[in-house]
Amino acid sequence: VNVDMGQPVLQASSIPTKLPGGGDEAVVNAELVVDGNTWKVTCVSMGNPHCVTFGTNQSQ
């Protein structure tokens, strides 16, 4: 199955997000603190906003 989702949008103001690196910049590997835990996140839109984080095991 092939799906054409178009090009990913990384421009913070177009996603939208207010995380650091915003405006015309991409939010890549930015710090996001949730309940005292710091996550490294990347924001992207493929038609709707996503906040992506990567971990190396299930506890992350």
Q: For residue 22, is pLDDT > 70? A: no
Q: For residue 5, is pLDDT > 60? A: yes
Mean pLDDT of 21-43: 87
What is the per-residue pLDDT for 18?
83
What is the per-residue pLDDT for 20?
75
pTM of the model: 0.75
SS3 49: strand
Chain mean pLDDT for the chain: 85
Please state the domain extents for the chain.
Answer: 12-52
